[in-house]
Amino acid sequence: MEVPPKPTIDSLRHVVNTFPIIDNHAHNIIHPALADTIPLESVTTEAQGRAMTDAFKSLPHLRAARQLRRLYECPDDANWEDLLAQREEWLRTDPDRLNQQCFQGVHALLIDDGLASPEKVLPYHWHNRYTKAPSKRIVRIETVAERLMESLLVGVTEYDLDVATFFTDTWITLTEEFEKEIQEAILDPEVAGFKTVICYRTGLDIEPDYERAARDVGLPFERYVERCVRKKKYRIERKALNDYLVLRTLEILSEETPRLDAMSKPLQLHTGLGDKDIDLLKSNPAYLQPVIENYTNVPFVLLHSAYPYAREAGYLATVYKNVYLDIGEVFPMVSRDGQKAILRQALEITPGSKLLYSSDGHFLPETYWLANLQFREVWLDLLIEYVERDDVTPHQAIAMTKDILFNNSNVLYNLQYEATFNDLAIPPKTLTYNTKSPVEPSTSPNAASFAPGLDPRSQTSTLVPLYPSSAAPQPPSEGYKPPPFPPPPKEPQVYDTQLYDNFMQQNPEVKFVYVQWLDYMATIRTRMVPIKEFDRMMRSGSRIGISQGNTGTLQNDSSTPVVNPIGQIYVEPDLRSLRRTHKRDSIPSATVLSFWRDEGGNPIRECPRANMELLINELQYNQGIKLLCGFEIEVTFLRRSDAPQDEAYIPLTRTHAWGTLTPEQWLQTPLLAEIATSLSDIGIEVQQFHSESGQGQYEFVLAPQPLLNAVDSLIQARQVVAQIAAFHGLRATLHPKPFPGIGTAAHAHISLDPPDRDLQFFVGGVLSHLPALCAFTMPEEVSYGRVADDSWTGGSWVAWGTQNREVPLRRVSGGRWEIRCLDGFANMYFAISAILAAGILGLKNNVVDFPQRDVSVNPSRLDEAGRATYGITRKLPASFREAAFELGGDNGLVEALAEGFVKDYLTMKKSEQEMLSKMSDEERRVWLIERY
């Protein structure tokens, strides 16, 4: 039998740098919409207000700033403003990448979700996408009591305080409800433990005797209730009441523990390090000794290294079986030397089996990254020192590392997670970094495995290295070669030049780039840029300046009240949309769609693409849902008529019906095939194409893509269709009713991943706001001439149904829906953004039962009573004027979209309608045909 090699310093280094973490105390990430309310400099200080200005000169800040340069891939000489700018760009373009980096190597999180109100932070389970095993809750008992009190006092006035039994009744109800919630949390498998912040409120000198604490609470409770009623402030800050809540929780934990020799779920206590709210003297955990002795079957976890009382906390953890010391928050709040001193003090007498690691990560993902990085650095330095002095062997140091990072928390909180880990350095051939999306399974033999929905106790996870080579100490062991990682750029980048370089390597013949954007009226605006100048833009981070007033003009450049001639917009190409133009283009060119920025490179509220991307990110990172979208391009091909008695345009074919291929149509197959081939050549997949019902009308079905890519591809595909048609002397129009009879739509198929909340998104959200959405999805008066009952155009009623084409919202299958009240005149960034906003509102409402039922018949064939059984009570707008009125009155949707956007949009549409009203019907038809 082969004897495994003895652990070495290199083995220790490998384990310290890469062993998985169970973070036993953390908090939620802030809601992205509120991220700018949390200054980045707060990650290294508990100072607040004016005191925070001095934090920039502290050793913790200076050290963290240097490390954050590596995280954000900034140059070594980047200043704090450069870091903030680069971070902003990451959050805008790829927040998932930042989160993946910051949570890499974390197996599971125990999250105290009582630090901020629920609407300000992401739910605890949101973090599961970045960990190997599910996060668990730590219930903050003061938050439980305060929210109960707030609900109990709804509608109570000062007059109620004079009722003789009011305080007694309120106290009894509060204590009963509090006990009920604690008992339910004890039984809840999602709850790993409890926490008290009494240290912040009144100090750790808790009255140890429960009976005495219960007797003393009367008058302080009355004063507390009076303040709640008069000032609507529910924070509990009276010592007797705070003491009682802690002791009542301990009593319940003890009572619910089945055996005297068993341990309950732990109680975490904030000790030591905190902001100026704490009484520094009373944050000493030594005050807790009598309480600890009274509740011997409740594990006490002393948080935050009890700094500056690490020795006192370590003493308690040594002499009491039920006390544990958490060595968190001092990373990254304390300097490197301070961190090492704290760890030394913790190890002076405390067994390694009584120490727990935590990050105290909160609000910003960087707090996790810095804490994990700094702990591993300092812990490794300390252990190597102990090994070299022969205080411990490498084997013992490795065992202690595994205990502190994973095993101790796993046992204490009864998580029953498993970590399969190779103690030896991973061979170069199998060494990989976890760069995959958390929802994509990795094919690497070393990839972590955790399947949501399965019992985590039956699963294992294998770890990959936590940090890229630019951010972690490099093991010098022979044969150990980390994979390449892009070095930080010499200066912050506006563009991902690697994308550009790859494109040019594949398309060296390109001489011009069409820099394009879609304005409010869905007009494609273009600047042609020679490739030499475009190359300079990419290398220098430049943008194209246009007048601010361009956002407020109509299709023919007519002004509207929205026009602001003062100011500048900077057009920034998004290289993710860069693609070659088709072969019929007379010059070798590429096309790229763009964002609108201000002078500092920041997104502006007017930008259609940026606003849509914000909503996509909100849906993905706040709700855990990704979308795919596939568009149908319905188009009518027209010939210009030379006969004076004819209309200006006539259809390409007359012998025409859905899915037919008459000889007349067959003659047009070269045109259709050339369009499909041209789209395929530039990377836009056409799944099928066929004739539609209208004369000269055809449909091209595009493959589903992520949402922003799908809209970009749609815009570029429509240009290909129109340009190839023009090359054949034809006009391709998206006009929804170019001739009497059959109409032309632009249906969108949207799929949710995961699909389980699709009814909340589409029925609770999209359908509820559908009349207002029509102002975006059908933006012209003529759009409403296409929508009619009994014609497969979606019908006139606000309804949904499975495989029902007589409703505007068709459920194709679980998670996949078709938007049918949508045509080619829509600015698709606006239309999809509005659908997203409505869907998100539905998800936030969290309603699961809806009055609108799955309609299995044609709603127009039902009488009023029949429609009522399906919850059908409203009709779609019959005109754009009605849709605009609905939009203006839909406050929820208006607020969910960019500030001021709806007002500007409706103002411009009013100006457009006034312009079109001055034309004859034929002039208006031709004008729209020639512009769409």
Higher pLDDT pick, 541 / 443 = 541
Asked if residue 472 has pLDDT above 80, the reply is no
Render pLDDT for 70-91 as a digit per residue (tens, 0 to 9): 999 888 889 999 999 889 888 8
State residue 24 phi and psi, 5-degree precision: -85, 0
Contact 214, 244 (CB under 8 A): yes
Residue that has been written with the tokens 């929905």 in this structure: 453
pLDDT category, 428, cuts 50, 70, 90? very low
The contacts of residue 531 (CB under 8 Å, 6+ apart) are 510, 511, 512, 513
The residues, any chain, with a CB within 8 Å of residue 380's CB and separated by 6 or more, are 12, 13, 16, 17, 473
Tell me what the mean pLDDT of segment 141-159 comes to: 94
**83 membership: H or E segment, kind and range:** helix 80-93
Closest CA to 360 of 374, 379, 378, 344: 374
If 0-12 CB within 10 Å is exposed, 13-18 middle and 19+ buried, where does residue 222 land? middle
Q: Quote the pLDDT of residue 471.
A: 35
Query: 154-168, 442-456, 505-519: which has the minimum mean pLDDT?
Result: 442-456
User: Would you say residue 436 has pLDDT above 50?
Assistant: no
Q: What are phi and psi of 667, to 5 degrees?
A: -65, -20
Q: What's the sign of the alpha-carbon dihedral 723, 725, 731, 734?
A: negative
Cβ atoms of 926 and 648 closer than 8 Å: yes
Question: In this predicted structure, what is the pLDDT of residue 646?
Answer: 62
Say how many C-beta atoms besides its own lie within 10 A of residue 907's C-beta: 15
Task: Round to whole Å and give the CA distance between 190 and 458.
Answer: 17
Mean of pLDDT values over 589-612: 90
**Spatial distance between the Cα atoms of 788 and 267, rounded to a whole number of angstroms:** 64
**Sheet containing 191-196, strands listed edge to edge, beginning at the edge strand earlier in sequence:** 21-26, 106-112, 136-140, 191-196, 267-269, 300-302, 323-326, 355-356
Residues 6 or more apart whose Cβ sits within 8 Å of residue 232: none
CA distance 856 to 870: 9
Per-residue pLDDT band at 484 (split at 50, 70, 90)? very low
- The Cα–Cα gap between 758 and 736 comes to 29
- Residue-level pLDDT at 52: 74
> 465 pLDDT exceeds 50?
no
| 148, 165, 177, 214 from 161: Cα distances, Å | 18, 9, 21, 22
Name the phi and psi angles at 490, rounded to 5. -70, -25
Predicted local confidence at residue 487, as pLDDT: 41
Instruction: Tell whether the model's pLDDT for residue 485 goes beyond 80.
Output: no
Q: What is the largest CA-CA distance in the chain?
A: 104
Q: What is the pLDDT of residue 645?
A: 58
Q: Which pLDDT score, from 0 to 100, does residue 448 have? A: 32
756 pLDDT above the threshold of 60: yes
Average confidence (pLDDT) over 619-633: 89
Task: Please tell me the predicted confidence (pLDDT) of residue 89.
Answer: 84
In the predicted model, is pLDDT for residue 429 greater than 70? no
Average pLDDT over residues 324-345: 95
Helix (H) or strand (E) holding 638: strand 626-640
For 195, 702, 781, the CA distances from 777, given in Å and listed in that order, are: 50, 19, 12
Point out which residues pair with 731 in neighbouring strands: 638
Compute the half-sphere exposure of residue 443: CA atoms within 13 Å on the CB side of its CA: 0
Pair 328, 357: CB distance under 8 Å: yes
Lowest mean pLDDT among 133-137, 364-368, 427-431: 427-431
Residue type, 60: P
Q: Enumerate the β-bridge partners of residue 626.
A: 753
The pLDDT assigned to 438 comes to: 30
Q: Report whether 328 contacts 359 (CB < 8 A).
A: yes
Residue 69's SS3 state is helix
Spacing of C-alpha 664 from chain mean position: 51
Secondary structure of 604-631 as H, E, C letters: CCCCHHHHHHHHHHHHHHHHCCEEEEEE
CA dist 346 and 352 (Å) reads 9
- Residue 617 burial class via C-beta count within 10 angstroms: exposed 0-12, middle 13-18, buried 19 and up: middle
Q: What is the reported pLDDT for 423? A: 64
* pLDDT value at residue 481: 39
In the predicted structure, residue 446 carries a pLDDT above the cut 80 = no
Residue holding tokens 């044609």?
858
Q: What is the 3-state secondary structure (H, E, C) of 757-781?
A: CHHHHHHHHHHCCHHHHHHHHCCCC
Q: For tokens 């009570």, what's the residue?
A: 873
pLDDT band at 433 (very low <50, low <70, confident <90, very high): very low
Tens of pLDDT, residue by residue over 89-105, are 888 878 888 999 999 99
Half-sphere exposure of 202 (CA within 13 A, CB side): 17
Q: 646 or 632: whose pLDDT is higher?
A: 632
**Which two tokens mark 269?**
């206590």
pLDDT at 848 over 90: no
Bridge partners (DSSP) listed for residue 195 = 140, 268
pLDDT of residue 4: 63
Distance CA 175, CA 154 (A): 17
Question: Residue 766 pLDDT more than 90?
Answer: yes
Q: What is the pLDDT of residue 259?
A: 67
Distance from C-alpha of 83 to C-alpha of 603, rounded to nearest angstrom: 17
pLDDT level of residue 260 (50, 70, 90 thresholds): low
Q: What is the pLDDT of residue 381?
A: 96
Q: Which residue has the higher pLDDT, 431 or 235?
A: 235
pLDDT grade for 276, boundaries at 50, 70 and 90? confident
Q: Which two tokens stand for residue 723?
A: 């340009």
In this prediction, residue 93 carries a pLDDT of 79
Give every CB contact of residue 109 below 8 A, 6+ residues apart in sequence: 23, 26, 124, 127, 131, 135, 136, 361
Q: Residue 603 has what pLDDT?
A: 84
The secondary structure of residue 818, as a DSSP letter, is E
Q: Is the pLDDT of residue 669 over 80?
A: yes
Contact 115, 362 (CB under 8 A): yes
- Lowest mean pLDDT, pick from 236-250, 300-314, 348-362, 560-574: 560-574
**424: pLDDT confidence band, cut at 50, 70 and 90?**
low
Confidence band, pLDDT 50/70/90 cuts, at residue 112:
very high
Residues sharing a CB contact under 8 Å with residue 515, sequence separation 6 or more, in sequence order: 526, 527, 528, 529, 534, 544, 571, 573, 592, 594
DSSP string for residues in 543-594: -EEEEGGGGG--TT----TT---SSEEEEEE-GGG-EEPPTT-SS-EEEEEE
Q: Whole-number mean pLDDT of the chain?
A: 87
Share of the chain above pLDDT 90, in %: 63
Percentage with pLDDT > 70 across the chain: 91
d(CA 893, CA 888): 9
Alpha helices in 260-335 (DSSP H): 289-294, 310-319, 330-333
